[in-house]
């Protein structure tokens, strides 16, 4: 397949999207720094499993994959890439406000705003659950285990796998997810999410285009077992809703150092410093240039 170029609404920075958070470190994503290429193994609705490679192109992204695709497969791949990189998202209002804040003054120039997504919201929900109450190294391990044990292999390289489908995960057992995949207490949450999605009881993907007000969308997300306030805020960010903050221990530490001389702070104090940003407060927090980010 020849290289396919997809345009993005400017300003756009491929690197900014890739490095927007840790998703690029989670299987099946692989980022090659020397070539600045993000790749992953994807399973399309047609059942086809293929490797997708994306790099920056003039005005957008260049997408490559091996083999000939049907018209429907090509259309699906384009739609997925556009979603994953937020190609047509508009941050002009956020940039207008950011220009007046020294800590965000570089946001527009550097093309910040977009946050890397997975090909499906189901994958993002699973990965978000795997970030809760654990270290990042454990999140990477659990995700890699899920992909290796339950994802469909790439025909040309069976050692590489796509993210597992809801139906494949739904066929697993809780004991298997606990002992072999080592998901711990998250196992029943992942199993129920997969089963509800596979059966059609839960249409996770429809939330990507939901017209619900953000507070109501948050409630819908929190009806998914395993999704609490922090996880819901993270998913809302991925959905382009920035009304809530992903307040964790790191956020409290940063706010403590930025405004309280290291004194311990609680979530309300974190919220207070970004309240003025309204619907953009989550994004302002996400891309804030902290004085001491270590």
Dump pLDDT digits (tens) for 255-266: 999 999 999 999
pLDDT grade for 186, boundaries at 50, 70 and 90: very high
Dump pLDDT digits (tens) for 75-95: 999 999 999 999 999 999 999
Predicted confidence (pLDDT) at residue 26 exceeds the cutoff of 90:
yes
| DSSP result, the chain | ---EEEE-PSS--HHHHHTSSGGGGSTT-EEETTTTEEEEEEE-TTS-EEEEEEEEETTEEEEEESS---HHHHHHHHHHHHHHTTTT---HHHHHHHTT-GGGTTTTTTTBTB----SSHHHHHHHHHTTTTS-HHHHHHHHHHHHHHHSPEETTEEEEEPPPPHHHHHTS-HHHHHHTS--GGGHHHHHHHHHHHHHTS--GGGGGG--S-HHHHHHHHHTSTT--HHHHHHHHHHTT--SS----HHHHHHHHHHHSTT----HHHHHHTTGGGGGGHHHHHHT---SS--
Q: For the whole model, what pTM was predicted?
A: 0.97
CATH architecture label of 121-238: Orthogonal Bundle (1.10)
**Mean pLDDT, the chain, whole residue set:** 96
Domain boundaries, the chain: 4-104, 121-238, 249-286
Predicted confidence (pLDDT) at residue 130 exceeds the cutoff of 80:
yes
Q: What is the CATH number of domain 4-104?
A: 3.30.310.20
Predicted confidence (pLDDT) at residue 67 exceeds the cutoff of 90:
no
pLDDT grade for 1, boundaries at 50, 70 and 90: low
pLDDT grade for 2, boundaries at 50, 70 and 90: low
pLDDT of residue 293: 79
Predicted confidence (pLDDT) at residue 228 exceeds the cutoff of 70:
yes
pLDDT grade for 209, boundaries at 50, 70 and 90: very high
């Amino acid at each position: 397949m020849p290289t396919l170029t997809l345009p993005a609404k400017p300003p756009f920075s491929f690197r900014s999207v890739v490095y927007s958070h840790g998703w690029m470190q989670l299987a099946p994503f692989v980022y090659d720094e020397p070539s600045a290429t993000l790749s992953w193994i994807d399973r399309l609705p047609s059942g086809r499993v293929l490797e997708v490679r994306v790099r920056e192109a003039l005005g957008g992204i260049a997408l490559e994959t091996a083999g000939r695709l049907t018209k429907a497969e090509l259309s699906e791949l384009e739609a997925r890439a556009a979603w994953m990189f937020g190609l047509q998202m508009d941050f002009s209002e956020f940039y207008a406000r950011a220009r007046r804040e020294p800590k965000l003054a570089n946001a527009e120039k550097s093309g910040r705003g977009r946050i890397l997504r997975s090909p499906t919201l189901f994958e993002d929900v699973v990965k978000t659950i795997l970030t809760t109450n654990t270290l990042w190294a454990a999140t990477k391990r659990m995700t890699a285990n899920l992909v290796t044990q339950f994802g469909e292999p790439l025909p040309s390289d069976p050692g590489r796998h796509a993210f597992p489908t809801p139906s494949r995960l739904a066929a697993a057992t809780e004991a298997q997810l606990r002992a072999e995949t080592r998901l711990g207490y998250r196992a029943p949450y992942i199993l129920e999410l997969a089963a509800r999605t596979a059966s059609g009881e839960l249409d996770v993907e429809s939330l990507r285009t939901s017209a619900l007000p953000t507070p109501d969308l948050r409630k819908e997300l929190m009806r998914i077992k395993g999704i609490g306030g922090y996880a819901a805020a993270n998913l809302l960010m991925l959905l382009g809703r920035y009304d809530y903050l992903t307040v964790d221990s790191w956020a409290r530490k940063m706010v403590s150092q930025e405004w309280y001389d290291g004194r311990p702070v609680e979530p309300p104090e974190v919220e207070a410093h970004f309240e003025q940003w309204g619907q953009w407060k989550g994004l302002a927090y996400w891309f804030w240039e902290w004085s001491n980010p270590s």
